[in-house]
Amino acid sequence: MNAWDIVKAVGSGVISSVVPGGGAILKIINSFLPDEKKLPYNATGNDVGAAIHALPPEAQASLMKKQFDVDITEIKESHSTVRTMLESDAKNPHSTRPYIAKGAFLVVAFSIIVIISLWAVSVFNNDVSTVKAVVDGWPFVLAVMTPFVTLLYAYFGVLKHEHKNRLIAAGGATPAPSGLAGILSAVLKR
């Protein structure tokens, strides 16, 4: 990956913390800059872009030709993240939640298939009273299926939250508290 691609990808983020090996990349970029314009360790991608644009054209060209070995590091970090998540799943497998969600899905799917099939057969046979009963029966169907749909929605929301927490933990950070605890911790830090 060349220097300009890194600068565009990072944007307003701090290169040394966002890009693996960002400190070494900053040292190389600083080698092209005069002493009074050297970038600090906490320089952002925008700072680096401005510094590169301030260089003479030949220095810009030679810096743009430099290739950095960032892609390989990102692949290694991605591998370690996935490995950590898989090890976490192996140690703490989910027990009944997937089965409950599968049951709820089967009830919802079966109900929808039965209702649509009943409506289609009634339309095909010109049975107006059954078509009217099916069409007018949506409040009942909604009342029956709402708990199952809510259960499915909650299950996938929990999975999304757990997946996010595992990614944060695999990166070596602790997840920030959410809800009221998050608000209180943010206020107390000030």
* Residue 33 within any structural domain of the chain: yes
With a pLDDT cut of 70, the percent of the chain lying above it is 65
Cβ(49)–Cβ(12) below 8 Å: no
Cβ(63)–Cβ(32) below 8 Å: yes
Q: Which residue's entry shows tokens 């078509």?
A: 131
For residues 44 and 131, membership in a common domain is answered with no
* Residue 61 within any structural domain of the chain: yes
* Position 75 confidence tier, pLDDT thresholds 50, 70, 90: very low
Output the CA angle 32-35-40, nearest 5 degrees: 85
Cβ(55)–Cβ(32) below 8 Å: yes
For residues 123 and 179, membership in a common domain is answered with yes
Q: Exposed (0-12), middle (13-18) or buried (19+): which is 88, by Cβ within 10 Å?
A: middle
* Position 164 confidence tier, pLDDT thresholds 50, 70, 90: confident
For residues 106 and 48, membership in a common domain is answered with no
| pLDDT tens figures, 20-38 | 667 777 788 888 888 888 8
Pure H helices in 92-178: 97-124, 128-136, 138-170
Cβ(166)–Cβ(173) below 8 Å: no
* Residue 89 within any structural domain of the chain: no
For residues 50 and 108, membership in a common domain is answered with no
* Residue 56 within any structural domain of the chain: yes
Beta bridge partners of 42: none
How many separate domains does the chain show? 2
For residues 102 and 55, membership in a common domain is answered with no
* Residue 59 within any structural domain of the chain: yes
* Residue 58 within any structural domain of the chain: yes
For residues 99 and 185, membership in a common domain is answered with yes
From 50, 68, 86, the end of a domain falls on 68
* Residue 82 within any structural domain of the chain: no
pTM of the model: 0.38
Q: Which residue range is the domain that position 105 belongs to?
A: 94-189
Q: Which residue's entry shows tokens 């209702």?
A: 115
For residues 20 and 107, membership in a common domain is answered with no
For residues 138 and 51, membership in a common domain is answered with no
How far is it, in rounded angstroms, from Cα 50 to Cα 43? Answer: 11
For residues 116 and 169, membership in a common domain is answered with yes
User: In this structure, what is the dihedral angle of CA atoms 57, 59, 65, 66, given to the nearest 10 degrees?
Assistant: -150
| pLDDT tens figures, 102-139 | 888 898 899 999 999 999 999 999 999 999 998 898 88
* Residue 73 within any structural domain of the chain: no
